[in-house]
Chains A and B, each alone.
Chain A
Amino acid sequence: MVPLSYYLVLSGILFACGVCGFLIKRNIITIFMSIELMLNGVNLSFVAFAAHWHQLAGQVFVFFVMVVAAAEAAVGLAIIISVYRTRETLNVDQVNLLKL
């Protein structure tokens, strides 16, 4: 038997690492991976709460989160490719102009 709070703490650790990576990383691809890490942390707490309160809807929400993450990854990586095509860099500090 594992207390529910252990799952919540693990999910919090993953989310905090995602936030930290989003803030300190300078490579746009790594920043994007940090967002995926945050989504994974949230998914874990969804499944843990679903098991704790015997509500299967929590697992369906995880499915929807994954669908949105897949759509976000497709569009985000396409944006990264087009940014790299125009700026020739992946460093977010050098992508600071709206118009070239």
Chain B
Amino acid sequence: MLSIHLILFLAFGAVAAAGAINLLVQRHPINAALSLIAVMAALAGEYLLLGAEFVAAVQVIVYAGAIMVLFVFVIMLLNAGVEEQTKGSRVAILFGVPGMLLGSLLIAWVVLKHSGTGDVAIGALPGAPKVIGNLLFHEFLLPFEITSILILIAIMGAVVLASKPTIPSGGPAQKVQD
């Protein structure tokens, strides 16, 4: 019995899984980035199915929007070309891929057969922005403020790391070089 919920779940899930596998197959980073954007858009659909409206919106805006634009920008800035093949990864393909398939099949079988968890209804938990905001600014106020400090530190670190290294003229820096 295929309900519309299950059909939508399978459709979004197929897009997400296909995008994730495409990320592994593609050799050019820009193609990998575009397939990752497809994965994130499909995941936003899954979040909407679960009723997490705020998370779905943030997923599209922050992940697919901001973070992936940053990735594409760096790929274009560095003029990244097609990835080079190396010989060392042949052993990994010979043993790693069958091992990964076996392990994931085992985990999937355990989760599907022996988890003892029930069904999730469509829109099971309304994650409206108002409710999330209430939670965020009352119960999780301290972690929220700490993340703002983290973002500030990250911005400063990014600026320091990405700025051109300036050659110091005179002073103690030259003594280090000697």
Contact = CB atoms under 8 A, between A and B. Distances in A.
Main secondary structure of the interface of B (DSSP, over half): helix
A12 B108 contact: yes
Main secondary structure of the interface of A (DSSP, over half): helix
B104 A16 contact: yes
B: contact size bracket? 35 or more
Interface centre among B20, B92, B112, B162 (most CB of A within 10 A): B20
B14 to A, nearest CB: 9
Nearest to A3: B119
Interface string A39-60: 0100110011011101011011
A60 B135 contact: yes
A29 B78 CA distance: 10
A2 B27 CA distance: 35
A78 B163 CA distance: 9
B132 A17 contact: no
Interface residues of A, number: 68
B24 A59 contact: no
A71 B127 contact: no
Nearest to A77: B74
B170 to A, nearest CB: 24
B117 A40 contact: no
A54 B125 contact: yes
Contact of B51 (A30, A33, A51, A60): A51
Interface of A: 1-10, 12-14, 16-21, 23-27, 29-30, 32-34, 36-37, 40, 43-44, 47-48, 50-52, 54, 56-57, 59-60, 62-64, 66-75, 77-82, 84-85, 90-91, 93
> Which 5 pairs of residues, A with B, have the shortest CB-CB distance?
A71-B154, A17-B20, A78-B161, A1-B119, A78-B162
